[in-house]
Amino acid sequence: MSDFRQDFLHFALQQNVLKFGEFTTKAGRQSPYFFNAGLFNDGASTLQLARFYAKAILASGVQFDMLFGPAYKGIILASATAMMLAEQGHNVPFAYNRKEAKDHGEGGVLVGAPLQGRVLIIDDVISAGTSVRESVSLIQAAGATPAGVAIALDRMEKGQTEQSAVQEVEQQHQLPVISIATLQDLLTLLDNQAEFAIYREPVIAYRQRYGI
């Protein structure tokens, strides 16, 4: 069987979502790679991305009753992943939030199925953890239980502390974080693909400096 994590990274390279070179991150760090999930921006790539989310979620064994996508990126991720889970025999409801409350029609900030049971949050990455905190508050306010967070890539690097943003979320909210792939998976790809061998040492050096 193929490793879906490696398949995902190859797919991200094909879509130019994952690039190697010299990049400046939001934190001002010089990174030898860049990952921009916003470039999964057409029907075919979003469909395939959702398949990878579904595989990672099912492989994790995390128990959940529905999906929640924080606005804005999480909206399409939650809806598309729900479709792919249904295709594999796991039909679950999904919901998402608006950035601004609606004062007419059904009103409120939540759209979709009622938040209830164990709710799995789906987003692209975890940077400062703000989106997760807001999602957890919304879920708990509705009387439901956060079940975990699913993201595309865990960069496995320090945030403002010696922990990564993912570790901080896991510790602060006592939630498992499911990632389709991690920096360790990226290093495995560099070990096995001769065409990318020149980037291996820069990525290792970056991990040694900023990694967890």
- Residues annotated as catalytic are 102, 104
3-state secondary structure 81-139: HHHHHHHCCCCCCEEEEEEEEECCCCCEEEEECCCCCEEEEECCCCCCCHHHHHHHHHH
* DSSP secondary structure code for residue 156 in this structure: -
**In what order do the strands lie in the sheet containing 108-112?**
108-112, 94-102, 66-69, 118-122, 145-154, 177-182
* DSSP secondary structure code for residue 65 in this structure: S
What the block records as the tokens of 6 is: 């490696």
Specify the 3-state DSSP secondary structure of 196: helix
Give the CA-trace dihedral at 35, 2, 55, 75, to 10 degrees.
30
Specify the 3-state DSSP secondary structure of 146: strand
